[in-house]
């Protein structure tokens, strides 16, 4: 398990935004992963997508690492942000914009505003 935890730690510290998901950004393999990837894609956020379905040890390892039972899991600058519900709520409230701005992550503010307007 240590090897998986070390791999996860290395990945989230070497990349500004990482999404552990089922499938990948082009072909998510669950609705929750699709929603979070869709938000990041629409907002133009540069991120690394990691398909947990490709490795059962990683799939369980990421759950243990964050002590979070579900996937997807979003990390920004090495910190666990949350899963689908939290990322969705943060997008709708503008908290995700604020986090990206505070961490110097590029994103399309107008696209974020469109998401909120379309779901108001």
Q: Mark the binding-site residues, compressed into ranges.
A: 30
**Three-state DSSP string of the chain:** CHHHHHHHHHHHHHCCEEEEECECCCCECCHHHHHHHHHHHHCCCCCEEEEHHHCHHHHHHHHHHHCCCCCCEEEECCEEEECHHHHHHHHHHCHHHHHHHHHCCCCCHHHHHHHHHHCC
Binding annotation for [2Fe-2S] cluster: 30
The structure tokens listed for 22 are: 């089922």
């Amino acid at each position: 398990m240590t090897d998986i935890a070390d791999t996860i730690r290395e990945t989230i510290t070497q990349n500004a935004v990482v999404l552990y998901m089922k499938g990948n950004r082009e072909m998510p393999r669950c609705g929750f992963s699709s929603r979070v990837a869709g938000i990041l894609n629409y907002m133009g956020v540069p991120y690394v997508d990691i398909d947990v379905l490709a490795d059962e040890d990683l799939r369980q390892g990421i759950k243990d690492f964050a002590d979070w039972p579900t996937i997807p899991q979003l990390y920004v600058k090495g910190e666990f942000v949350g899963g689908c519900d939290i990322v969705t709520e943060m997008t709708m409230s503008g908290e995700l914009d604020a986090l990206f701005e505070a961490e110097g992550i590029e994103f399309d503010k107008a696209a974020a505003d469109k998401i909120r307007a379309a779901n108001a």
